[in-house]
Amino acid sequence: MSRKSIVKLVASAVVVVAAVVFLGGFAGGQDVMYHVQNRDKLGPLSRSDIEYLDVEAPEATSKDGTVNAQDWSAIYPYIAVSWGDNSKNSYVTDYLEQDPYLVNIYEGYGFAKDYGSARGHEYCLTDVHKTLRPHAKANCLTCKTPNFAKLVNDQGVGAYSMPFEEAEALMEESVSCYTCHANEAGKGGTRVVTHSYVNKALGDNAGAIDPSTLACGQCHIEYYFTREDSETMMPYQSVDTMTPENILAYYDSIDFYDWVQESTGAKMLKAQHPETETFLHGKHAALLNCADCHMPLEMANDGTVYHSHTLVSPLENETLLSSCAACHGDTDMVSMVHRLQERVTARETEVGNKLSGMKDQLAALVAAGDTGEAELDALRKLYREAQWFFDFCYVENAEGAHNSELAFRCLDTADTKIDEALALMEAL
């Protein structure tokens, strides 16, 4: 290539890049890019107003050496009090009463007996104790208390298969400081992953996730219990692979199922609460972390600035709501989010009822006993898949607000699979 044509090539490349940057600004990317670079300026207060302490952890009063919220309260009074305030959120919606079709879809599994909405973190231990869902093993404690994370870290994966009652007797507090900071909160609130399976599953890829998202991502995720040692585990290794499609393919590849449903004979899956997966594939993923929208920055009377640790809906907190304006301008965020959630909920109800109807037809075929096993298996597979995609959306607690595209993609995929099953049955 001659020197002249190289110069021409470089010049045209510069023009293209400049045009992209320029148009990007006009297409609304400008605000967004501004806030990517100024992530701590979402309101009048910002992270730079926080006075980060570098102090030794106080002596642990818990038997297992975890420094608890009470222990920290002398150093971080406001944070400790705000954490305690999670107990104010005690309202529970009974999903089974709200959406009766669930009882039919979850037939044969604990969630058909007892499934209420999430409430404050303070209630984790009480709620897991009194749930009507059976829990034979200690692994149910994984996401409820730092004492269990510590037990696993001290004793290894054997802790997961301890009898539930035996392990429960060792638990001292619900989710707490140690869960997200280990005993390192004194070092400027450094976030530490204490749940070992997160590091095991993600390995070096964990570094691609903001620590203030990964802190929540220790629990607000899809997980399963391994067959070998009942260990809690995530069904993927990276952000790229944490999609419902990839997770299903993974479960298929290890023949994993949560239960075999009696009336249909299908090997069923139950999704957990994939907030992190849903959020990380959504429109805010590169811009914000979970704390930005769920932990408002507050100033105490003495001027101390801190992240409130009362984990609330951004729609119920003025500070969080006003932070949306940095990118969303004067949009009424409450009605914007509610409108979106209403659309998702309506579609959920439609697909959920259709799935329940399809399940009844499949159960009737199984009961009649005159359909071949190969045909039944094809139907069971479609039913398993449809339920998986439906559930991935249903159990995600933001009802579409974290990622509406993914919510609709899940429900549309479920709908398509139900239609395929219905067509197969029609053709029998």
Footprint of ligand HEC on 157-176 (CB under 6 A): 175-176
Residues between 19 and 38 that touch ligand HEC (CB under 6 A): 32, 35
Cα angle: 51, vertex 54, 57; to 5 degrees: 125
Q: Is 182 left (phi over 0), alpha (psi -120 to 50) or beta?
A: left
Among 398, 410, 414, 418, binds ligand HEC (CB under 6 A): 398
Contact 78, 55 (CB under 8 A): no
Cα angle: 133, vertex 136, 139; to 5 degrees: 95
The residue range among 224-232, 247-255, 326-334, 386-394 that interacts with ligand HEC, by the rule CB under 6 A, is: 326-334
How many Å apart are CA 212 and CA 190, to the nearest integer?
9
How many Å apart are CA 251 and CA 173, to the nearest integer?
33
Residue 404 near ligand HEC by CB under 6 A: yes
Residue 177 near ligand HEC by CB under 6 A: yes
Q: Which of these, 66, 50, 46, lies nearest to 58 by C-alpha position?
A: 66
Q: What is the full DSSP assignment across 351-395?
A: HHHHHHHHHHHHHHHHHH--S-HHHHHHHHHHHHHHHHHHHHHHT
Q: What single letter denotes the amino acid at residue 326? A: A
Among 222, 403, 415, 418, binds ligand HEC (CB under 6 A): 403
Residue 347 near ligand HEC by CB under 6 A: no
Torsion angle, alpha carbons of 218, 173, 304, 216, to 10 = 10
Residue 79 near ligand HEC by CB under 6 A: yes
Residue 60 near ligand HEC by CB under 6 A: no
- Cβ-closest position to ligand HEC: 189
Among 57, 62, 66, 69, binds ligand HEC (CB under 6 A): 69
Contact 236, 217 (CB under 8 A): no
Residue 317 near ligand HEC by CB under 6 A: no
How many Å apart are CA 6 and CA 162, to the nearest integer?
69
Looking at the Cβ atoms of 7 and 21, the one nearer to ligand HEC is 21
Residue 124 near ligand HEC by CB under 6 A: yes
Residues between 237 and 266 that touch ligand HEC (CB under 6 A): none
Torsion angle, alpha carbons of 257, 161, 218, 224, to 10 = 0
Longest dimension (CA), the chain: 80
Looking at the Cβ atoms of 12 and 93, the one nearer to ligand HEC is 93
Looking at the Cβ atoms of 239 and 340, the one nearer to ligand HEC is 340
Q: How far is the CB of 250 from ligand HEC (least distance, A)?
A: 21
The residue range among 9-17, 57-65, 96-104, 321-329 that interacts with ligand HEC, by the rule CB under 6 A, is: 321-329
DSSP type of residue 237: S
DSSP type of residue 56: P
The residue range among 95-103, 199-207, 277-285, 358-366 that interacts with ligand HEC, by the rule CB under 6 A, is: 277-285
Cα–Cα distances (Å) from 258 to 120, 249, 266, 269, 270, in that order, read 26, 15, 11, 5, 6
Looking at the Cβ atoms of 320 and 379, the one nearer to ligand HEC is 320
Residues between 189 and 218 that touch ligand HEC (CB under 6 A): 189, 191, 212-213, 215-218
Residue 127 near ligand HEC by CB under 6 A: yes
Among 139, 160, 181, 248, binds ligand HEC (CB under 6 A): 181
